[in-house]
Amino acid sequence: MVLRQSFLIILAFFGMVLCGLIYLNTNQNSCKPQIIEKVITKKNWKLKNFGLRSPVGLVYNQPSALVSRTDVASVTPWLAPIVWEGTFDSRVIDSIYKQQNITIATTVFALGKYTRFLKDFLESAEEHYFVGFRVHFYLFTDQPEEVPNVKLGQERYLTVKTLPSMNRWQDISMSRMEILEKLIENELASEADYIFCLDVDTKFYGRWGVESLGRLVGVIHPWFFNVPRFLFTYEHRPKSQAYIPAGKGDFYYTGAAFGGSLKDVHNLTKTCREQMNIDTANSIEALWHEESHLNKYFLYNKPSKLLSPEYLWRDISMSSGSVKIIRFSHVAKNNAEVRPNL
């Protein structure tokens, strides 16, 4: 009798201890992310030690359905991701794309005095841009002799294409979309899977990798990511094809970087080229040229992925709380010095 009683007491005691432990554990999980991290690490340790591997052959932290960055939005209302530091694991995403044997075409224009930006652009790209992946740069210039001799790594290619000199910035700005459209049509189909079109007065300072790939990719303009849309510099004159009515618009996207699949970027460049031609016929030039047309396009053809201003910052010397890493940035330039005399 006494034995049975003490057995039951011991059983009840262990039951209480167990309940307490379960309670503590669930409680910690729901309110203390750092505890979750510990649990995950322990699991990883177990996985490693029993020789188990995740499907992508990597041991990595368990993704959380509860914990993420809370100081920025990482998804749009149409469920496109917005890529910020802390929203992806570079090892996981690299290992997924590594299996796909992809080529990323990258276009850049350097006419007139803008060839001076090429060295820093290309050298910094070698260090930070799609490192470990096949990249093919297509460089359009009116001065091929000014292209610096930058040593490119394995599986990285540069094709220089000579353009006639253009002195009017309108011509440079307008012709870019048409040249991209024709490049995709005539040359890229069997050569590349994705394309990015970048300004040359820029430099890479941090990783820009496969996390940026998507069907249609826009980059949020660094001046406008934290302002209400009535301040966006959209084209507001109905006469222009780039017209966006007041009170409309999602984000203000930069014209200095955009990309995506060949098909989607082809449609984008073709549409912008056609819209700009209509504007020219109607003697109107949109406020910010092709950037205005790009913004109109993205309003009606939503990007499937957005890159945060980490992917195009204003100038490396300026800082912001939510931008924790500057990956790519405009360099400070003296417009009067580099632009042709108008």
Active site residues: 291
Question: CA-CA distance, 216 to 213, in Å (whole number)?
Answer: 8
Cβ–Cβ < 8 Å for 213, 194? yes
x/- map, 205-244, Mn ion, by CB under 5 A: ----------------------------------------
Q: H helices within 205-321, ranges in order?
A: 262-281, 290-300
Residue 291 touches Mn ion, criterion: CB under 5 A: no
Does the annotation flag 315 for ligand binding?
A: no
| Residue 110 or 183 with smaller CB distance to ligand 5GW | 110
Helix (DSSP H) and strand (DSSP E) numbers for the chain: 8, 10
Applying CB under 5 A, the span of 117-125, 188-196, 197-205, 298-306 interacting with Mn ion comes to 197-205
Angle between helices 290-300 and 262-281 (to 10 degrees): 120
200 assigned to a ligand binding site: yes
Judged by beta carbon distances under 5 to 8 A according to partner kind, the member of Mn ion, ligand 5GW, none in contact with residue 313 is: none
Out of Mn ion, ligand 5GW, none, what residue 109 binds, judged by CB under 5 to 8 A for its kind, is ligand 5GW
**Toward ligand 5GW, which CB reaches closer, 149 or 334?**
334
Distance CA 228, CA 5 (A): 71
Three-state secondary-structure class, residue 67: coil
Would you state the structure tokens that stand for residue 63, as one six-digit string?
């993704």
**CB-based contact 106:331 (threshold 8 Å):** no
Q: Does 199 bind Mn ion (CB under 5 A)?
A: yes
Q: Rounded to an integer, what distance in angstroms lies between the CA atom of residue 282 and that of residue 322?
A: 42
Query: Which residues partner with 107 through β-bridges?
Result: 138, 197
Alpha carbons 88 and 296: distance in angstroms, whole number: 29
Tokens of 135: 């990249």
**Is 221 annotated for ligand binding?**
yes
Handedness of CA 211, 296, 236, 78 (dihedral sign): negative
The dihedral over CA atoms of 219, 255, 152, 181, expressed in degrees to the nearest 10, equals 110
By a kind-dependent CB cut-off of 5 to 8 A, residue 302 interacts, out of Mn ion, ligand 5GW, none, with: none
Stretch that binds Mn ion, among 41-49, 63-71, 107-115, 200-208 (CB under 5 A): 200-208
Residue 233 labeled ligand binder: yes
Which string of DSSP letters, residue by residue, matches 141-207? ES-GGG---PPP-TTEEEEEEE------HHHHHHHHHHHHHHHIIIIITTT-SEEEEE-SSEEE-S-
Q: Are 220 and 295 in contact (CB under 8 A)?
A: no
User: Dihedral sign, CA of 84, 229, 267, 271?
Assistant: negative
The residues binding ligand 5GW (CB under 6 A) are: 109-112, 114, 169, 172, 199-201, 256, 330, 339-340
Q: Is 279 in the site for Mn ion (CB under 5 A)?
A: no
Query: Which CB atom, from 85 or from 201, has the smaller least distance to ligand 5GW?
Result: 201
Whole-number Å distance between alpha carbons of 278 and 152: 41
286 binds, among ligand 5GW, Mn ion, none (CB under 5 to 8 A by kind): none
Residue 128: which of ligand 5GW, Mn ion, none does it interact with, CB under 5 to 8 A by kind? Answer: none
CB closest to ligand 5GW, residue no: 169
Identity of the residue, 109 or 298, whose beta carbon is nearer to ligand 5GW in the bound complex = 109
Whether residue 114 is annotated as binding a ligand: the answer is yes
Residue 227 counted as an annotated binding residue: no
Query: Cβ closer to ligand 5GW: 314 or 324?
Result: 314
Binding to Mn ion, residues 239-278 (CB under 5 A): 256
Q: Which of 115/261 has CB closer to ligand 5GW?
A: 115
Annotated binding site: 114, 199-201, 221, 233, 291
Annotated binding site for UDP-N-acetyl-alpha-D-galactosamine: 114, 199-201
Binding site for Mn ion (CB under 5 A): 199, 201, 256
